[in-house]
Amino acid sequence: MKLKELESWLQDVQGFSTPRILLEQYQTPPHIAARVLHTAQASFKDLEGKMVADLGCGCGMLMLGASLLEAAHVIGVDIDEGALEVCQENLTEAEVDNVELIKADVTRMMKDQPRFHKFFDTVLLNPPFGTKHNPGTDVAFLQTALEISHGAVYSLHKTSTRTHIVKKAGDWGVKAEVLAKLRYDLPNTYKFHKKASVDIDVDFIRFSRQK
C-alpha cells in the first residue's frame, strides 16, 4: 500500500470522545502515523507477516495501519476502557480481522502479562510524553516495548528529550536510530489549552538490539 493511500485510510479513524488529560490522550495525526508505518514496512520490512503490538493504542491509529499493511496479527494494549471501545469501533468499521485488544497498564505489563516477554516481532507506540503529567511515562512505555519485543521498536518522543532517550537506550544495550524529526500538530484538546493548536518537534526513533 502506498503512503498516500494509507494516510487516506487513517483519516477516517474516529478520535477520543472524552480524552483524559492524566493519560495524556492525544490522537496520533494520520499523516504522522502513515509515515511511521510506511517507513517500518517499506524500509525495514517490520510489519508484513509480523506479530505486532501497539502500546497505548488509544483509538487504534497505529494498529489499524499495521493491519492494513498486512501484519500477521496486531495486539493493541490500553488502560482506558473508553478508548478501547472507540478503537473497536474503528477496527470494525475498517473490517479488519487480524487484530486483538487487551485492557492493561502498559507500565505493569511484564508483571501482569509475563507471557508477552519477547513475544512480538515489532512494537509500535506513541507514548505519553510524560513532561506535564506523570514524568517518566515515556521511558516506562519504551522499556516495556523493549521487553516484549525480540525485534524492532518504533516510537515517537519529544525532540527535547532526545539526549535522555538515546542515553537510556544505550544503557539498555539498545541502538536508537532517529529516522526523522517531525512536526506534531497538537490540537486544542483540553480546557487549559489557549491556542487552536501547537506544533511540537518530535523524533521518530527506531530501537533495535545491538548485535
Q: With a threshold of 0.85, does the pTM exceed it?
A: yes
Domain residue ranges in the chain? 3-13+20-209
Query: 148-160, pLDDT tens digit by residue?
Result: 999 999 999 999 9
Per-residue confidence band for 190, with pLDDT thresholds at 50, 70 and 90 = very low
As a 3-state breakdown, the chain gives helix, strand, coil percent values, each rounded to 5, of 40, 30, 35
The predicted pLDDT at position 197 comes to 56
Rounded CA-CA distance 67/39 in Å is 15
* Chain position carrying cell 536510530: 177
Alpha helix stretches (DSSP H) within 113-161:
137-148
Rounded CA-CA distance 211/194 in Å is 47
* Chain position carrying cell 470522545: 17
Average pLDDT, the chain: 89
Q: At what angle do helices 61-68 and 3-10 cross, to 10 degrees?
A: 140
Strand order in the sheet with 51-55: 99-103, 73-78, 51-55, 120-125, 149-158, 197-209, 174-187
Per-residue confidence band for 26, with pLDDT thresholds at 50, 70 and 90 = confident
Sign (positive/negative) of CA torsion 50, 128, 83, 89? negative
What would you report as the CA-atom Rg of the chain, rounded to the nearest whole angstrom?
16
- Say which CATH architecture domain 3-13+20-209 belongs to: 3-Layer(aba) Sandwich (3.40)
Per-residue confidence band for 189, with pLDDT thresholds at 50, 70 and 90 = very low
Q: Is the pLDDT of residue 136 over 70?
A: yes
Q: Is the pLDDT of residue 96 over 60?
A: yes
